[in-house]
Amino acid sequence: MTRIVVTGAAGFIGSNLIKGLNARGIDDIIAVDDLTQGDKFRNLADLRIADYLDASVFYDLFAQGAFGRVEAVFHEGACSDTMESDGKYMMENNYSTSVSLFQACRQHGTRLLYASSAATYGGSDTFREEPAFERPLNVYGYSKLLFDQRMRRECGVDFGRVLPGKAGQVVGFRYFNVYGPREQHKGRMASVAFHQFNQFTADGKVKLFGDYGSYAPGAQMRDFVFIDDVVAVNLWFLDHPEVSGIFNLGSGHAQPFNDVASSLVNAMRSQRSEAALSLEAMVTSGLIEYIPFPDALRGKYQCYTQADLSALRAAGCEHVFSNVQTGVARYVQWLASQA
C-alpha cells in the first residue's frame, strides 16, 4: 500500500490532489491542514483519507518517523495571500517549514513534490525557470523563490533541473492562475472565474477592467490553468520518480480576461438553454461591463503571463492542457451543481 502525505489537504489544490489519488484507488493518505477556518472541511468530506493531523503537530511527528514508510509528500500547505505584508510570518510559514520538511523527507527516503509559484517571476516578462527571470514583487513570491533556491543548492539544480542522485525526487511546481472546483473558501484570493460566476449569478453581468497600458478593455492576458490539469501533472511526476526539478505548471497559452468572461457567460446561458453570444453582443447587451482600471493597481499589475513549458516537455510530460473555454465550461457545471 502506497502511503501519501498531502499538506494543505483541505485547500484548493490539496483537496483536488486527494480526489485524484482516490480515483487511482489510493486512500492511505495522511491529510494535514489547519481547520481554524472550519468550513474548509467541506473539501475533505467526500474524500477517502486514512488520517487527519493539524499542521501544528504534523511536521515534528513526521521528522521523528511517526508515520512509518511514506512514499511521497505533496506539500501544498502555505500562506498564498499575495497581499500579506507580515514578512516574518510568511517566511516562517512558507520557507522555514518547507526546509524542515525537505530535511525530514531526505532523512526518511520520502519524495517531495511541492507548490512553488509563478509569483517568483513577479516583474519579469519571461516565464522560464531560470534565475535571470526571477523578480518577485512581494514577500509571498520571495518566500517561494527562496525555497526554490535552497532546493537548487541542496539538490544540485542547474537552471531549474535537478541533477539526479543527490536527494531522491524533489519537484517544485510553479503554479500559474489555477481555477476550478474546491476553491470557494479562498475569498478574495479565489480565481477570476469563481468571482465572475458569483457576479453573474447576483447581478446578471460580469465586470472587467477597462484599458490599461497597451491593452484594450478586458484584453490583459494570463495563463489560466484548470485544476484537473494541475492534478494530472502532479500525478505524472508521482509516476516518474526518476524526474526532478523546478517546473512551470500553466497551460502554456495566455488568454485574455475577455475569454474567461465570455466563456463563463455562455456556459451559464447554456445552463438556461439560452443561445451562445459573441463577446461584442455581450458587451452591447450589458452582460459584460468594463470598469476603470483601479489607481491602486497601477504599476503593480501583471498584464501578461504565459508559462514556458520547455522544461516540462523536455522532462517527458506531454499532458495536453484545457483551454479557457473548455475548463470554464466544466467549472460552471460543477458550480451550478453545488448551488
| Residues annotated as part of the active site | 140, 186
Which runs of E-coded beta strand occur in the chain? Answer: 4-7, 29-33, 51-54, 72-75, 111-117, 157-158, 161-162, 170-175, 177-179, 206-209, 221-222, 224-226, 245-249, 255-256, 288-291
If you write DSSP's letter for every residue of 136-202 in order, what string do you get?
-SSHHHHHHHHHHHHHHHHHTEETTEEPTTSSS-EEEEEE-EEE-SS-GGGGGGS-HHHHHHHHHHH
C-beta separation of 77 from 11 below 8 A:
yes
Residue 186 CB burial class (10 angstroms; 0-12, 13-18, ≥19): middle
Give how far Cα 35 sits from Cα of 66, 75, 97, 177, 198, Å. 22, 16, 18, 24, 25
Please, what is the angle between helix 192-203 and helix 257-271, to 10°? 50
What is residue 16's three-state secondary structure?
A: helix
What is residue 75's three-state secondary structure?
A: strand
DSSP secondary structure letter of residue 43 = G
Across the beta sheet with 157-158, the strand order is: 51-54, 29-33, 4-7, 72-75, 111-117, 170-175, 245-249, 161-162, 157-158
Residues of 23-35 as b/e, b for ≥16 C-beta within 10 angstroms?
A: eeebeebbbbbee
Cell of 211: 484599458
What is residue 226's three-state secondary structure?
A: strand
